Amino acid sequence: DAGVTQSPTHLIKTRGQHVTLRCSPISGHKSVSWYQQVLGQGPQFIFQYYEKEERGRGNFPDRFSARQFPNYSSELNVNALLLGDSALYLCASRRLAAQETQYFGPGTRLLVL
Amino acid sequence: AQTVTQSQPEMSVQEAETVTLSCTYDTSESDYYLFWYKQPPSRQMILVIRQEAYKQQNATENRFSVNFQKAAKSFSLKISDSQLGDAAMYFCAYIFGGSQGNLIFGKGTKLSVKP
């Protein structure tokens, strides 16, 4: 089975621009979570989606938004990019329950200039 | 607040030797789960091992095993017969059953393996 996939792999944007990152979960997984990993740190939780609804949100500004589609894929949107948004954005999927293991995609490396 | 602490920013081990990575966590929950993830330079976060808090038996997965000390809130990872491919960042992570489903990660330990 294919693992979690993310696109694009790398992205360069300038301050003030908008970006959309995409994630496809493992087949049969209904929950998708997004994490931001700044260089040298562990991942920080941004959003969790299940059945197209936001089920959890981390401590991130409203510039960050996400959605989940009927096929359980997901998009993460970031508006008005800041230099500090430069990071690796990871998507993780799991079947359903909170305690189930999350499986991560390869991430999207975003650089904001 | 739940926190995860990895006190060793970097560790080094000789190939074929054994190394232990430390992790402590803070929680008031009784139903929770602990994980070790490995992140090589390729960036892909890979699950190494998982431990359910309600299980007294320490989890093992081939060369990887944990020492789970619930009372001490300690969750260390032991890697036996270290291989060059074990070189990576290792992250300890926690989630509790009633949460929104978000993992809480430590800052990671960079493991180097010397040939």
A58 at interface of B, judged by CB pairs closer than 8 A:
yes
Residue of chain A whose alpha carbon sits nearest to that of B35: A101
**Closest chain A residue to B97, measured at CA:** A99
Q: Are B94 and B34 in contact (CB under 8 A)?
A: yes
Q: Look at the block and give the residue holding tokens 């995409």.
A: A22
Please compute the mean of the pLDDT values over residues A47-59 and round it to a whole number. Answer: 90
Chain A residue closest to B99 (CA)?
A98
- pLDDT tens for each residue of B46-95: 999 999 999 989 999 999 999 999 999 999 999 999 999 999 999 999 99
- Which chain A residues are Cβ-neighbours of B106 within 8 angstroms? 42
User: Which residue from A40, A45, A50 is facing B103, i.e. has the nearest CB?
Assistant: A45
What are A15-33's pLDDT values in tens digits? Answer: 999 999 999 999 999 999 9
Chain-centroid distance, C-alpha B18: 15
* Nearest residue to B90 via CA among B66, B107, B75: B107
